[in-house]
Amino acid sequence: MHGKSRKNVAVAIRISGLSNNVHEFQFTAEPSELSLTDQFRENISISTIVDKSPHQIYLKADIKTVGHFQCDRCLEEFREPVDVGCKICYVYNEKDGGAFPPDELQIISPDTVSLDLTEDIRQLITLSIPLKLLCAEDCKGLCPRCGANWNRESCACDNEEVDQRWQGLQGLLHK
Ligand SMILES: [Zn+2]
Ligand SMILES: [Zn+2]
């Protein structure tokens, strides 16, 4: 998407030589390593559990960071914790993946040296951004006339028309 020629591997689990057992791996990645937008400025912590058996590798990952977003209503920046997870079952043979939903299944070559999770994690974090960005559910927004932030102050503008619209909206929100 960014036209990068070099593939950035920030988070990878080496599986060649790993015993058939349950293992835990922790990673910390910087937002730039995951090519995230500047909405993400704090480190990303990734905890994984890897259950390796002869025919499959089952991976569970928990990803935590903090997003810095701009409120759609009052335009102030606010922080929002991001806590997402994924489960992936890696199999060497398509027939071994029968019980898993397709979006949790990846087929890998038996020669695979390491599992690159970079792109999976980048997508999970990006998809976690809410469609509607609000600093608070009841954010009052800005005065359309003077720009006062109604969360902090009231203003003397005559917003009767606007007030009526807001009442309608607030009525809906409180149902
Ligand atoms: Zn707001
Ligand atoms: Zn005003």
Cα separation, 72 vs 142, in Å, equals 10
CA-only gyration radius of the chain, Å: 23
Cα separation, 11 vs 95, in Å, equals 28
Torsion angles phi and psi, residue 94, rounded to 5: -55, -35
Would you mind telling me the total number of residues written for the chain in this entry?
Answer: 175
From the CA of 63, how far away is ligand 2's center (Å)? 42
| pTM, two decimal places | 0.78
What does the pLDDT average to over 59-83? 97
Question: 41 is written with which tokens?
Answer: 């400025």
Tell me which amino acid residue 118 is: T
Residues having C-beta closer than 5 Å to ion ligand 1: 71, 73-74, 135, 139
pLDDT score at 2: 47
Closest ligand, as measured to the CA of 162: 2
Higher pLDDT, 145 or 5: 145
Which residues lie below 8 Å from residue 152, measured CB to CB, with a gap of 6+?
A: none
From the CA of 111, how far away is ligand 1's center (Å)? 51
Cα separation, 151 vs 137, in Å, equals 12
From the CA of 142, how far away is ligand 1's center (Å)? 8
From the CA of 152, how far away is ligand 2's center (Å)? 12
User: Does 73 score more than 90 pLDDT?
Assistant: yes
Question: 83 is written with which tokens?
Answer: 């806590």
Q: How confident is the model at residue 24 (pLDDT cuts 50, 70, 90)?
A: very high
pLDDT score at 160: 67
From the CA of 65, how far away is ligand 1's center (Å)? 21
Over the stretch 142-168, which tens digit does the pLDDT of each residue have? 999 999 999 999 999 987 655 555 665
Paired with 13 in beta bridges are: 115
Closest ligand, as measured to the CA of 155: 2
Separation in Å, CA 72 to CA 41, 78, 82, 136, 172:
20, 11, 18, 10, 18
From the CA of 96, how far away is ligand 1's center (Å)? 49
Closest ligand, as measured to the CA of 143: 2
Over the stretch 116-146, which tens digit does the pLDDT of each residue have? 999 999 999 999 999 999 999 999 999 999 9
From the CA of 137, how far away is ligand 1's center (Å)? 8
